[in-house]
Amino acid sequence: MPAKQVTVKAPATSANLGPGFDVFGIALEEPSDKVTLTSVSQGIRIQISGIGARTISLTPDKNTAGLVAKRMLSDFNLKTGLLIHVEKGIFPGKGLGSSAASAAAVAFGMNAMFNLGLNNKQLISYAAKGEVASAGSEHADNVSAAICGNFVLIRSYHPLEIVNLECPKDLELAVAMPKIITPPNKTEKARSVIPKLVPLEKHVYNLGKAAAMITGFAIGDVNLIGESMIDEIVEPARASLIPGYAKVKENALKAGALGVTISGAGPSMIAIVNKNTGDSAKIALAMQEGFRTAGLDSHAFATRPGRGACLLEMKP
Ligand code: HSE
């Protein structure tokens, strides 16, 4: 018997983490989105409240949550309609996996609501379909982290294979989110500037950093993780899209961050901090100061790696 209503929470995430373009993702303890699914007689209707709600399309085919719901209703031949209420806690268009959180929450929520018995990999595949609405492609780094929590790496896209690792307890994150208006197709645009061909030496450089970062997660070495957060391929191509980029980076490193990079497709920046040697709240403020030098206000905060999507309430 399907439930009448479920409410799910899904976290913000940061993709790439420097060398892991489209492969690495990490879930943040906060902020998060809350999504309530209610079964109705027919159709898909979307309501959005909270941060940045007015910037998001309510048309199911253009909305990340709507795309996931439509596909799952059809694939599982579910003879019902769905009212999707998204309470945005994650600002859209800032590189913190806002669309992914809503997509992941819908996949997770429908699995619970209709008792579909899907595993994480299947949920990720469905949630990734929602990313087409905002990014133009089914990249799965954000949605994987939003479903699984902690650190994820995508071992393969076809077929989808994920590795999920715990984060060391001393790892903290500092984030600065500039208050600039980003176009709805921001991620698509930020993807269009990436070089299609990569010189071998840059590939070798990034591969070394990526391998070292995974080793850091595997053995719980925060310093190895943070010091490996360098990208010679995608980040240089995107840096000019972010006013104040160089200063934010410089300030974070000077304030004690181990590594700093663009969060997802930007414009937010994220730093890795070892809580024994750095103060993540102070580092976030230093990053905010960096954006200020470019004339931008920003929201800066410290957080930690977090868990994946979870069920808050289920009404029969
Ligand atoms: N890996 C994706 C990108 C994340 O960097 O384009 C977008 O959120």
- Give the torsion sign (CA, 64, 29, 125, 141): positive
C-alpha–C-alpha distance, residues 188 and 256, integer Å? 33
- In this structure, what DSSP letter does residue 242 have? S
Q: What is the per-residue pLDDT for 259?
A: 98
C-alpha–C-alpha distance, residues 23 and 157, integer Å? 9
C-alpha–C-alpha distance, residues 167 and 144, integer Å? 15
Q: What is the per-residue pLDDT for 136?
A: 67
* Tokens found for residue 71: 């596909």
**3: CA distance to ligand 1 center in Å?**
34
Cβ(26) to ligand 1 under 6 A? no
Nearest CA to ligand 1 atom 6: 265
Q: What is the per-residue pLDDT for 135?
A: 67
According to DSSP, the residues that pair with 13 across neighbouring strands are 27
For 12, the 3-state DSSP assignment is strand
Q: What is the per-residue pLDDT for 74?
A: 95
For 159, the 3-state DSSP assignment is coil
Cβ(38) to ligand 1 under 6 A? no
Span 51-86, pLDDT tens digits:
989 888 899 999 999 999 999 999 999 999 999 999
Report residues of the chain scoring pLDDT below 50.
none
**310: CA distance to ligand 1 center in Å?**
23
**92: CA distance to ligand 1 center in Å?**
13
Cβ(191) to ligand 1 under 6 A? yes
Cβ neighbours for 299, distance < 8 A, ≥ 6 positions apart: 91, 176, 177, 179, 288
Of the candidates 187, 235, 261, 303, the residue annotated as catalytic is: 187
C-alpha–C-alpha distance, residues 263 and 97, integer Å? 9
Q: Is 187 a catalytic residue?
A: yes
Q: Is 131 a catalytic residue?
A: yes
According to DSSP, the residues that pair with 305 across neighbouring strands are 28
Backbone torsions φ then ψ of 141, nearest 5 degrees: -65, -45
Nearest CA to ligand 1 atom 1: 22
End-to-end Cα distance, the chain: 8
Q: What is the per-residue pLDDT for 181?
A: 82
**What DSSP letter does each residue of 205-219 carry, written as one string?**
HHHHHHHHHHHHHHH
